């Protein structure tokens, strides 16, 4: 064969050397085309599985790198670890690792297809057996992928996650492309949902017919699970004042992760205490979820009372929750989910504050934050501070001061000019803050005077703010 | 609103920031270290098992492709 081609080439170059060679007389003596196809598919399957093995080895290296600590103090090590953990989420590490399994599935599909094709050339009966199994596998996989598009379906595959992500993106986007895709997929989705509904009904009837002949069973109604909306982070420009934002963000992310991950009440207490001590600036206010803190706080309560021995936990978690809610309500006062959450917690804190015999800053401050601001009238609930104990820790005072300032600001922002806003029992509260002899009150005064700009009524409020017993603006 | 917020948070930063204590941070990070180590070791062990399973599967598949499937070669 090769010799024949050589003859043709030489003939093409120089006619005189090898005359009278007929190219059509040269016959193909290599493998038949089916075998070439089969071999190509087999090599494709081999290459896919080798690529999966390559990714698995790389994955081992990536995980080892994730486990490695950076040098430096413990806070730096932990912040570095938290950033790497956030990076895993941000860069879809788990999705990439899950795609290794998809590659293996693809390799198996290629292998099954190749085997069917090869056996088809030898014996069709045997080929049908392999082909039917392959088709069954492919069809099942396709159905499982489509069925697993809802988040809570257990048969998740990487393609179903991809479809879900794409559909969410298209649903929330309003570009022309997204609109056209929405329009086109609406009919398809309708057909699919009708098909699934009919299938479920038929399966239900079949099951009921098999289990209880003569009785009709209704299929349960699907429950739509609402996923919480993710708020966009806000950015603020503070000018020349410098703060270690990256460190702050890492701290808050560490707290957030720990509150999400752990179920140990002492660990939750420690995280909440650190959250109380951390100032929640607008840039980082949305990282901590008030829902998680609220669930931990409500975990300390039972039938309108604090669990025995959980008062300290309820206090600290309550203060952390008050800080987070307060700052988020300052930034987005009209946010519906925050308002709903506030209402539901308020119901519990009202009953708890009546049952707690001693001063409880966490419950008291929550009662203040959770009051819905109204125009005019009295700003009540300050009475919880009239018996503020001596020697309240500095962390608690800082938290209380911040939350009080933010709450007053929230109330003031909806008042029309010349409205008299009465802040009851503010005097004992301020007295209580200075009871320990530290300089928190002057700090508070300075903070207030610098945070309420020029209008004269505000300045007047600043002077009366720290003077007992009642403040009128 | 933005002006008020701006000055309000800048005041928090200026006056309350210096009063914060670092003891709580140290305590927190000690506990965080313990918890995160437990989580990470568990996570790494699971992933390592997945990768090992993948490698074993691939080796078996290559063996099948190489030896069991007797397709004529040219």
According to the model, what pLDDT value does residue A451 have? Answer: 41
Joined together, the tokens standing for residue A164 give: 């879900």
The number of residues in chain A equals: 473
Residue to test with chain B: of A31, A45, A48, A53, most B Cβ within 10 A: A53
C-beta separation of A301 from A307 below 8 A? yes
Q: Is A406 on the interface with B (CB under 8 A)?
A: yes
Contact A270 B50 (CB under 8 A): no
Percent of chain A whose pLDDT exceeds 90: 20
| A366-382: burial string, b at 16+ Cβ within 10 Å, e else | bbbbbbebeeeeebebb
Q: Which residues pair with A302 in a beta bridge?
A: A305
Max mean pLDDT range (A92-96, A377-381, A439-443): A92-96
* Chain A residues whose beta carbon lies within 8 Å of the beta carbon of residue B33: 74, 77-78
C-beta separation of A218 from A204 below 8 A? yes
Residue holding tokens 């008042």? A415
Q: Is A147 on the interface with B (CB under 8 A)?
A: no
Angle between helices A33-67 and A74-90 (to 10 degrees): 160
Percent of chain B whose pLDDT exceeds 90: 43
ipTM: 0.72
- The pLDDT tens digits of the residues spanning A84-104 come to 999 999 898 988 898 899 899
Residue A333 has pLDDT above 50, yes or no: yes
Using CB atoms, which residue from B21, B48, B54 is nearest to A277? Answer: B21
C-beta separation of A203 from A217 below 8 A? no
Q: Is the pTM higher than 0.90?
A: no
> Hey, which residues 172-211 in chain A have their CB within 8 Å of chain B?
none
Average pLDDT on A421-436 reads 50
Count of other CB atoms within 10 angstroms of residue A335: 15
Max mean pLDDT range (A44-48, A419-423, A427-431): A44-48
According to the model, what pLDDT value does residue A198 have? Answer: 76
* Chain A residues whose beta carbon lies within 8 Å of the beta carbon of residue B50: 56, 59, 97, 100
Average pLDDT on A198-213 reads 73
Q: Is A21 on the interface with B (CB under 8 A)?
A: no
Q: Is A450 on the interface with B (CB under 8 A)?
A: yes
In this structure, are strands A305-306 and A378-379 parallel, antiparallel, or unpaired?
A: unpaired
According to the model, what pLDDT value does residue A223 have? Answer: 30
According to the model, what pLDDT value does residue A72 have? Answer: 83
- The pLDDT tens digits of the residues spanning A117-141 come to 988 888 899 999 999 999 999 999 9
The per-residue DSSP string of A393-461 comes to -HHHHHHHHHHHHHHHHHHHHTPPTT---EETTHHHHHHHHHTTSSSHHHHHHHHHHHHS-S-HHHHHH
According to the model, what pLDDT value does residue A7 have? Answer: 66
Residue holding tokens 């014996």? A123
- Lowest-pLDDT choice from A187-201, A212-226, A260-274: A212-226
User: CA dihedral in degrees (B5, B10, B15, B21; nearest 10)?
Assistant: 100
- The pLDDT tens digits of the residues spanning A207-249 come to 776 666 544 443 333 333 333 333 333 333 344 445 677 788 8
Residue A53 burial (C-beta neighbours within 10 Å; 0-12, 13-18, 19+): buried
Average pLDDT on A262-287 reads 85
* Chain B residues whose beta carbon lies within 8 Å of the beta carbon of residue A446: 11, 15
Nearest chain A residue to B58 by CA: give it. A49
Residue A204 has pLDDT above 50, yes or no: yes
Task: Label residue B24 by pLDDT band (50, 70, 90).
Answer: confident
Residue A417 has pLDDT above 80, yes or no: no
Average pLDDT on A44-65 reads 94
Joined together, the tokens standing for residue A143 give: 């159905």
């Amino acid at each position: 064969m090769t010799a024949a081609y050589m003859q043709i080439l030489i003939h093409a170059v120089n006619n005189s050397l090898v005359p009278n060679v007929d190219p059509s007389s040269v016959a193909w003596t290599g493998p038949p085309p089916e075998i070439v196809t089969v071999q190509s598919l087999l090599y494709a399957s081999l290459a896919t599985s080798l690529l999966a093995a390559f990714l698995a080895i790389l994955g081992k290296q990536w995980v080892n790198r994730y486990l490695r600590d950076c040098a430096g103090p413990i806070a730096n090590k932990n912040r570095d670890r938290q950033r790497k953990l956030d990076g895993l989420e941000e860069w879809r590490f788990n999705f990439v690792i899950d795609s290794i399994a998809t590659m293996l599935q693809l390799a198996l599909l290629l292998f099954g297809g190749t085997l069917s094709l090869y056996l088809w050339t030898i014996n069709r009966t045997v080929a049908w057996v392999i082909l039917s199994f392959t088709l069954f596998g492919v069809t099942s996989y396709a159905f499982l992928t489509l069925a697993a598009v809802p988040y809570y379906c257990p048969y998740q595959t990487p393609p179903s996650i991809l479809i879900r992500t794409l559909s969410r993106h298209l649903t929330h986007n309003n570009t022309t492309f997204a609109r056209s895709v929405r329009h086109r997929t609406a009919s398809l989705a309708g057909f699919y949902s009708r098909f699934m509904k009919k299938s479920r009904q038929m399966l239900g009837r079949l099951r009921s017919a098999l289990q209880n002949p003569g009785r009709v069973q209704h299929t349960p109604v699907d429950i739509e699970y609402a996923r919480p909306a993710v708020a966009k982070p806000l950015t603020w420009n503070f000018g020349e004042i410098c703060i270690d934002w990256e460190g702050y963000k890492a701290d808050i992310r560490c707290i957030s992760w720990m509150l999400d991950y752990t179920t140990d009440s002492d660990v939750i207490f420690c995280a909440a205490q650190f959250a109380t001590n951390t100032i929640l600036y607008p840039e980082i206010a949305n990282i901590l979820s008030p829902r998680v803190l609220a669930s931990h706080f409500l975990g300390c309560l039972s039938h309108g009372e604090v669990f025995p021995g959980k008062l300290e936990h309820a206090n600290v978690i309550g203060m952390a929750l008050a800080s987070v809610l307060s700052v988020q309500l300052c930034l987005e006062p009209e946010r519906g989910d925050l308002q709903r959450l506030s209402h539901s917690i308020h119901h519990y804190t009202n009953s708890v504050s009546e049952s707690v015999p001693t001063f409880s800053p966490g419950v008291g401050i929550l009662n203040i934050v959770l009051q819905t601001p109204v125009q005019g009238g009295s700003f009540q609930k300050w009475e919880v501070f009239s018996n503020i104990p001596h020697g309240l820790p500095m962390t608690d005072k800082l938290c209380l001061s911040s939350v009080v300032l933010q709450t007053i600001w929230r109330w003031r922002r909806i008042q029309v000019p010349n409205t008299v806003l009465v802040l009851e029992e503010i005097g004992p509260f301020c007295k209580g803050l200075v009871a320990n002899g530290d300089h928190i009150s002057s700090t508070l005064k300075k903070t207030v005077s610098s945070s309420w700009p020029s209008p004269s009524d505000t300045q007047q409020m600043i002077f009366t703010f720290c003077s007992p017993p009642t403040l009128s603006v | 609103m933005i002006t008020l917020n701006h000055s309000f948070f800048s005041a928090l930063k200026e006056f309350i920031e210096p009063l914060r204590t670092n003891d709580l941070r140290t305590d927190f990070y000690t506990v965080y270290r313990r918890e995160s180590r437990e989580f990470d070791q568990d996570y790494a062990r699971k992933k390592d098992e997945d990768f090992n399973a993948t490698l074993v599967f691939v080796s078996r598949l290559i063996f099948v492709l190489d030896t069991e499937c007797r397709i004529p070669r040219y």
